[in-house]
Structure 1
């Protein structure tokens, strides 16, 4: 009976793309010993971007198959956070995951079951089926180190982190973190998402192993803390495999290919690229402040602008091209900056952009996929975290990796003034500190490429993981 590795990502573009890249990685290094089956939820956070990417992968990789669950709807009007609704949605799909695994096992031997952290509700299913069950942790070793310590912190703190504005927590293996900068689902103890995430973190210890999209040279402090058992008091850490960087180069949209042509006409390392992820939307006043900062900086820029968030729909923003720039941008901005700037509506092919020689800096929301893409391209960053675990990522980027400059954000809403953005852009592009960041980023790029060399750390880790699966 042929073997297959079953992967189960949580909904959301970043999580699905990362899991698909893991599937490709298994196929490339297993010499066709296994096929890959990817389970997909239907309904919450589905987007045209995900669907088109899945269709492209299906055509290019015949050994990767996708199984879509029946659609499930959730009440979006519930009095709880979007994260809580998303976690409930995934939990409701657990019976579909069980049914899929049972059907797959009739014709194929399930060599391993790999789940996203947010799919912890299926951890016991894999265990009950006596299938080696792994987590694929789509963020870095630094956040993993913190997440391993969250259950202990939960027992020590009785209130909500959002109500502790002056409190700073100290973790093993990661820089200190302010209570109000905790990952979004942990901020409010009264919200169901808080208890869900603590449960997810506890589940990590019950797995057969943790796969992490990082590499040893990128996060040596956090990786050592995890390996030395410093992140857990009593329980042993499951085997951990650092197999990154995995980068998903989503196909560019034809209408935006002109931005690549524009970049090719700009001087080397002269352009600042601003892009804030699939959920990175701003209020109209914040968009105007960004525009003012860019104009005053006198730097070349490529800026992806999305529609403002729709408060009636707490849902991932679609990449709609219908962005009213005349409404969002200051009057005359486009005309005044036309010789050195380009504004793109909704989407730009980020991986391709970052790898253009003219790009010298990246203003990012600190999503882990974006960080890795910048690392592989050797581009230094300006860190502007927006949601999820991104403030923790920011601290690692700035303090441990020393590959980014942080922006000062207003407490509460995270607002950044145009004056602050101008200051940080100039610092990155003109100062000696910026030059040092650029040199350090380029050296890390070389280390990222070396991780997948014949004797690289990620190549060795993947070999160990595959052997582990075979033994299981």
Structure 2
């Protein structure tokens, strides 16, 4: 019996960035919904002890049986521990070495069945493999359109400069599609001397992100319409026609995927007993880390505020060495980190979780009324989808840029904790801002805006919604490319 033509296979390549596997898994589900087979190609995490290494991949694979996970034959990684090079540069070197293995894998799929290769924003070396094989290749940009707009325009800004942008301090820079962006808020490595190897490499990555046939962005049109329109402006990158940019988000986990585990987590049970929209949730992402002194200051601010709180405390990293991201940290010792008697005094209205909480489940819970966040894009979208306003405390990467967008009047979903800019947020500001969001008139407006954005996010993903239509346009464009 003829079953009709075989399904086409989309190959997703998140490369070495395990943090990017989550959003790419959500993208995979959209392809599955549209009748495609999906294979996610992974490389062995180069450091076995990472929090988020093989164990995370195994969990993702186990909970998504309809996605095929293919691990490329391993290559001995560079010596991350002893190399003087930045881990990011070593990771890119490793990815380049994997090109050969990726090519062999793509060749193993019959050409008529291979739909496209979708690469992570840091896997630009794989563009060469797709070009060689004549396979349509697209970038998946896991952050927002505003950040993509800035990074796309940045190479031209840096091209004429003899010195780094660091010397500009907080001078606002003008980019199409976004509010004025203080120079200091760009990704830290991009502020260095333009001849610095790390800076040069990153700038080259942003250039190549738009060397594909198009870019899928994890955002939705009504959230970032200005930035999305900027890509069609001939002034965005003078002399260049940029490929199409498709807003296909918000692609976020549904939460409670492993319902038993979510229900077992005691913090969710604790939330069940709290009044609606009364709890501030504090979490700085899977890599975010604060100093011991800052943790004590947060405790003082929360205690003075008198508000209910659910707080994820991680062990302080104690060093700014980029290699610390590769280390697994021990569970925090709460008695040593928190002020004496704090847990006793806040018992009932406060709940402290060590290292990890089921973030999506917490944000979706009716008791959660505000979210102190590091402004990572996944966390930002999870809060938007849950209709929760944010207190912005960016730490690194592109988080300060996200913060500018979140507090701008066009998005108006967050309030900034200004102390982050000096590297220390005082107890008084924590107390005042938590009260502002949970109790004041301004906070009520923020909550109304959050509820509005939640509806817009839902509408974007429904049949006929902007993100659904953008995805269908993308599929149609691939079909035309394939002929």
The 1-side partners of 2:322 and 2:262 are apart by 28
User: d(CA) in 1 for partners of 2:315 and 2:258?
Assistant: 21
Structure 2, unaligned stretches of length 5 or more? 1-5
Match of 1:195 in 2: 200
Distance 1:444 1:341 in 2: 28
DSSP 3-state at the match of 1:366:
coil
Task: State the shift of 1:229 in Å.
Answer: 3.7
Deviations 1:282-333 (A, max 9, x none): 1100111111111111110000000001537723276756210111111111
- Counterpart residue number, 2:273: 265
In structure 2, how many angstroms separate the alpha carbons of the residues matched to 1:266 and 1:55? Answer: 34
CA deviation vs aligned residue, 1:50-80 (integer Å, no higher than 9, x gap): 5344324434324422224414133344445
5+ long unaligned stretches in structure 1: none
**Distance (whole Å) between structure 2 residues aligned to residue 47 and residue 428 of structure 1:** 36
In the TM superposition, what is the alpha-carbon distance from 1:417 to its structure 2 partner?
A: 1.1
Q: Any idea what SS the aligned residue of 1:118 has?
A: coil
Alignment deviations for residues 384-423 of structure 1 (CA, whole Å, 9 cap, x no partner)? 00000110000000013001000112545x2111111111
Does structure 1 residue 292 correspond to structure 2 residue 294?
Answer: no
- The range that moved more, 98-107 or 322-331, is 98-107
Distance 1:317 1:270, change over 3 A: farther
1:54 counterpart residue number: 57
Residue in structure 2 matched with residue 393 of structure 1 by the alignment: 402
Alignment equivalent of 1:39, drawn from 35, 38, 42: 42
**Contact 1:169–1:176 (8 Å) recurs in 2:** yes
Q: What do you get for the CA RMSD once the two structures are aligned?
A: 2.2
Compared CA separation, residues 223 and 103, structure 1 to 2 (3 A): closer
Q: Which of the numbers 412, 425, 432 marks the counterpart of 2:434? A: 425
Aligned residue number for residue 101 of structure 1: 103
1:409 and 2:419 matched: yes
Give the Cα separation in 2 of the matches to 1:371 and 1:222. 17
**Deviates most, 384-393 or 126-135:** 126-135
Give the paired residue count: 466
Q: Which residue of 2 aligns with 1:341?
A: 350
Structure 1 contact 351–373 (Cα < 8 Å) conserved: yes
Which of the numbers 320, 323, 345 marks the counterpart of 1:314?
323
Q: What TM-score results when the alignment is normalised by the length of structure 1? A: 0.93
Matched residues in 2 for 1:191 and 1:137: separation? 24
* Alignment match, 2:3: none
1:303 aligns with 2:318: no
Alignment of 1:466 onto 2:475: yes
Question: Is 2:121 the partner of 1:113?
Answer: no
- Say if 1:469 and 1:328 are closer, same or farther in 2 by CA, change over 3 A: same
Q: Is the 8 A contact 1:74 1:85 kept in 2?
A: no
Maintained 8 Å contact 1:205/1:235: no
CA positional deviation for 1:276: 0.5
> Residue deviations 1:138-163, cap 9 Å, x none?
00011011011011111133212223
After the TM superposition, which of the residue ranges 181-190 and 207-216 deviates more from structure 2?
A: 181-190
Report the more deviating stretch, 387-396 or 203-212.
203-212
What is the rounded CA distance, in whole Å, between the counterparts of 1:163 and 1:208 in structure 2?
36
Task: Tell me the TM-score normalized by structure 2.
Answer: 0.91
Q: How does 1:370-381 map to 2 (within 5 A)?
A: 370-381=379-390
Corresponding residue SS for 1:9: strand
